[in-house]
Structure 1
Amino acid sequence: MTDSQRPLPGDPTAWAWAAVDTPVCSIGMAATPTGLLNVVFHTGGERTAEQARARLTRQLGAAPADGPAAPCHDLLTEATAQVQAYFAGRLRTFSLPLDWSLTTGFNRRVQRELLEHVPYGTVVAYQDLANLVGEPGAARAVGVAMGANPLPLVVPCHRVVESGGGLGGFGPGLEVKRKLLALEGFLPEPLF
């Protein structure tokens, strides 16, 4: 059984889904009783909210519970409020419990290091992040870990850039990465 096929510990049906519109795009979020599980940017193309929710349903082996009585509803309400506050410029650090069960090993180590040591308005190079986790030869593996991040925005992989000053990659697209870095004051606002 691969990591992507393993069930969640405890009740695999205890998860819920919500979407929030932002100035960049719609963002889908999933939560379990443990914490926020997944954040998905819906930037068009094949990555729609329905497809993201269906993928997670297959991965977890059960559909999400819906409605205000659903498990995790309060957490998703708080996550929505924090995402909206972030985009309004009123929040610099998310304070949500996180469910790390969709990531393991090196990827989890790198994502946790990023979350703990790269604050709002700053960036880190892939190589420097590899050095921080004690794996100086693993800059490319750090890039893979960023691409596999199940909690983008909250675990801010948009803050990881190339050593030479390039933006590097970002699953939702470089335009979204530019907008997030501009919002945080690291890049100037686009002229058009």
Structure 2
Amino acid sequence: MSLPGWNLCIDSPLGLLGATASAEGVTRLCFDPAPRERAVHRDGAAHLARLERQLGEYFAGRRRQFEVPLAASGNPFQTRVWALLQTIGYGQTRAYGALARALDRPGAARAVGLANGQNPIAILVPCHRVIGASGALTGYAGGLPRKRALLELEGALPASLF
């Protein structure tokens, strides 16, 4: 089974990233892509070439915002959450409850967390910037060590000693 669009694997300081794009934009960016997703098809994938360059700049500390069109698909609540995530600036964090309140759904922190966990475009839709109410690092599809590393890169957490 092949995925629609183009696939590209990108080496990063945090491991292999798998990216998929359509003519409209990036549809998926995930850590540790499954082997079937690792086929590299670059023909016509201008969005993926731009993504690869901008991710390199991000990990080198030279980029704070991405200028790549996104084309994630999800239900209406998920897309609202993902749009809100994109308003969290580089080096900033928000709690799940704060996002729920911003959506006029103050009791929906868990639903926000579920939508966060279903985010198909890691890093660009910055679900790593969402933390627990106590400031604790909580769930991340790429794993908590990667979440910590991304937040440290952005200066949202002090660098780890170990």
% identical aligned pairs: 39
Given the two structures, how large is their TM-score scaled by the length of structure 2?
0.93
Given the two structures, how large is their TM-score scaled by the length of structure 1?
0.79
2:84 aligns with 113
Task: Indicate conservation of the 8 Å contact 2:91/2:154, yes or no.
Answer: yes
The 4+ residue runs of structure 1 with deviation greater than 4 A are none
Count of residues paired in the alignment: 160
Distance across 2 between alignment mates of 1:111 and 1:74: 23
1:7 aligns with none
1:90 aligns with 62
RMSD between superposed Cα atoms in Å: 1.7
Structure 1: 5+ residue runs without aligned partners?
1-11, 43-47, 55-63
1:1-192 matches, within 5 Å, as 13=4, 15-42=5-32, 48-51=33-36, 53=37, 67-68=41-42, 70-71=43-44, 73-101=45-73, 103-115=74-86, 117-192=87-162
> Cα deviation per residue 1:18-72 (whole Å; 9 max; x = unaligned)?
0111111111100000000000111xxxxx4415x28xxxxxxxxx8x644x33x
Paired amino acid for 1:82:
Q
SS in 2 for 1:146: helix
Change in 2 beyond 3 A, CA 1:67/1:151: closer
Distance across 2 between alignment mates of 1:126 and 1:120: 17
SS in 2 for 1:181: helix
Structure 2: 5+ residue runs without aligned partners?
none
Which structure: larger Rg? 1
Shift of 1:165: 1.2
